[in-house]
Amino acid sequence: MRTHTGIAIAVLALAALAGCQRETNSEILKLTGKMFVFNYRLAYATYMVTLSKTEPVPEGSTVVATFENPAGGKPLTMERKLFAKLDKVVLESDDITCVKKEQPYAVTIEVKGPDGTILQTLQTTVTSNLDQSILPAKALMVGPAYDKNPEVFKDGKAPAHFETAKCG
């Protein structure tokens, strides 16, 4: 009887230990938002993706985001360190061009441990309800004080019609 009890306790202990281990497909980051940001004053667009941590990550972990390039060609990639004390993660791409209205663009996000092991992969798409042609062709403001761009505002006066961004 004692042998069976000992075996049962050992099996329960092993099951409890196995339950404490991280699952390989567990959700470390949860997608909370995704959009395109159109900065009209500075005439640029970017991807912005927001995530929340659902569980702690090892010190030295990173997140790598790969954004489809709306202009075609090589995808845009960025890597950010994950900080243990920050529960929110905001990923903003470099400036992009050629965003088309109602066109879904692929985004892949990988959470990597300190040793480079992939802990989680998220795949999503971002779709804009605006076309990038709504942006001006040149920044309307320049410098840290947001001065009027002299290339756009001739003699300090606004043009009758702003030239808009073109893809190409």
- The mean per-residue pLDDT over the stretch 11-21 comes to 43
* Summary mean pLDDT of the chain: 86
Q: Between 126 and 17, whose confidence is greater?
A: 126
**Average pLDDT over every residue of 74-97:** 95
DSSP 21-75: SPPTT--SEEEEEEEEEEETTTTEEEEEEEEEESS---TT-EEEEEE--TTSSSP
Q: Does residue 149 lie in a domain region?
A: no
Task: Count how many domains the chain has.
Answer: 1
Distance CA 10, CA 29 (A): 34
% the chain with pLDDT above 90: 65
Quick check: is 37 in a domain?
yes
Is residue 124 assigned to a domain? Answer: yes
pLDDT at residue 79 in the model: 96
Q: Is the pLDDT score of 55 beyond 90?
A: yes
Average pLDDT for 2-29? 51
Query: Tell me, what's the pLDDT at 16?
Result: 43
Query: Residue 43 is part of which domain span?
Result: 23-136
| pTM recorded for the entire structure | 0.79
Indicate whether 7 belongs to any domain.
no
How many helices (H) and strands (E) the chain has is answered by 1, 9
On whether residue 61 sits in a domain, the answer given is yes
Q: What is the pLDDT of residue 10?
A: 45
At 66, which CATH number? Answer: 2.60.40.10
Does the residue 104 lie in any domain?
Answer: yes
6, part of any domain: no
Residue at 84 is within a domain: yes
